Structure 1
Amino acid sequence: MKQSKNIYLIGPMGAGKTTIGRLLAKSLGVDFVDSDKQIEQRTGVTIPMIFEYEGEVGFRRREAEVLAELTPMDGIVMATGGGSILLPENRELIRRHGFVVYLHCPVEKQLERTHKDANRPLLNTENPRQKLLDLFHIREPIYRSLADFVVDTGQSTSRSAVRQILRVYHRTHSRPGKP
């Protein structure tokens, strides 16, 4: 049984984790934390620069450090990086410390939402669509296995997704024996 009232948003880039996270936090009257922004604040450089100098391995190490520090907090909504679920220790932290919501988003919608965003180092490739498809095939089963709830953000508005998440979150946290 999870003791924390945290909500962790997982899912691919462009799924709406930051937008929905802010709305959820406001609805619940708690702090919103974006793990990627925390990494940038702590390092003083952008994520693309971390990728350039340290590669994805260096970035994932920094991401794991931030998650280890932030997940024990209580009463937050956190937008995690799309690849944060790749490391088993990150999955365990997220699973243990909160209610996990997978924001599912089709690849075509991700492309639409990210095509002008230069802050996506994994998409700096000749074929961003293929890269998103490759990431989807690797990460989708992990997202689903980790999630307490799944919402399709390719079909739902941000406000509708928030209402769906809150309905399920309140139902699971109002059961006897739950905080």
Structure 2
Amino acid sequence: MEGVPQRIWLVGLSGAGKSTVGPILARRLGYTFVDLDRLIEDLAGETIPRVFRTGGEAEFRRLEARAAARAAREMEVVVATGGGWMARRDIDRSSGGRVRVWLRVRPETAIHRLAGDGTEARPLLAGPDPGGALATLLAEREAAYAEAELTLDTDGREPEEVVEFVLERLRGLAARSDAGDTEEER
């Protein structure tokens, strides 16, 4: 699609739909899809839960920074970030050459979507109240997510609907001369 940014980064909580929407969006654009969590696992040679067990969150965040730097060099790419990537102040999150799309979701919806995965696959949600943990994470990260150039509520929307919205908004960004504005769809 002419004029569409060469790098599209999907951000938001676990369960927002980044890893579901990302491949569909990439396919529609003819882009490559990169899931930062899978790239982290490739770099580590082990699963994310194992990284957390052996090296803790600090090791995970180190690997996440490496994976993000690698993905940032790609062109014609849709990147699904981890839930905490956008809130990190120690890595480049600027929009230079990329558009960040916040797939906003209510914690209750995210927990429902994640029910089949189990919280062991998401170490920051392990514990007796994963819904409460997600609500806390959203409160901590919401201001960072709001820096995204595009925002879409994903509650009650099918992945194809989300992709259509993103494509429509990307066309709008491409047509505008001031691509630094934020667009929001509620």
Q: Considering the TM-score relative to the shorter chain, is it more than 0.5?
A: yes
Task: Write out aligned runs for 1:92-103 (5 A).
Answer: 92-103=92-103
1:103-159 per-position Cα deviation (integer Å, ceiling 9, x unaligned): 0000110110112313111111111111111101001111012x1111111122111
Q: TM-score, normalization: structure 1? A: 0.90
Q: Between Structure 1 and Structure 2, how many residues are aligned? A: 174
Does 95-104 or 29-38 show the bigger shift? 95-104
Give the C-alpha shift of residue 10 in structure 1: 0.2
Report the counterpart of residue 140 of structure 2 in structure 1. 138
Give the C-alpha shift of residue 94 in structure 1: 4.9
Structure 1 residue 112 and structure 2 residue 136: aligned? no
Does 49-58 or 115-124 show the bigger shift? 115-124
Partners of 1:71 and 1:94 within 8 A in 2 = no
1:64-121 per-position Cα deviation (integer Å, ceiling 9, x unaligned): 111112112211000000011232243x345223011000000110110112313111
Partners of 1:6 and 1:74 within 8 A in 2 = yes
- 3-state DSSP class of the match of 1:77? strand
1:67 alignment partner AA: A
Report the counterpart of residue 150 of structure 2 in structure 1. 149
1:114 alignment partner AA: L
Structure 1 gaps, min length 5: none
Structure 2 gaps, min length 5: 180-186
Mapped partners of 2:94, 2:50: distance in 1: 26
Report the counterpart of residue 171 of structure 2 in structure 1. 170
Q: TM-score, normalization: structure 2? A: 0.87
Mapped partners of 1:65, 1:151: distance in 2: 28
Mapped partners of 2:99, 2:44: distance in 1: 28
Mapped partners of 2:33, 2:132: distance in 1: 32
% of aligned pairs identical?
A: 34
Task: Write out aligned runs for 1:10-159 (5 A).
Answer: 10-90=11-91, 92-117=92-117, 118-145=120-147, 147-159=148-160
Partners of 1:4 and 1:74 within 8 A in 2 = no
The structure that is helix-richer by fraction is 1
Partners of 1:67 and 1:93 within 8 A in 2 = no
1:127 alignment partner AA: D
- 3-state DSSP class of the match of 2:96? helix
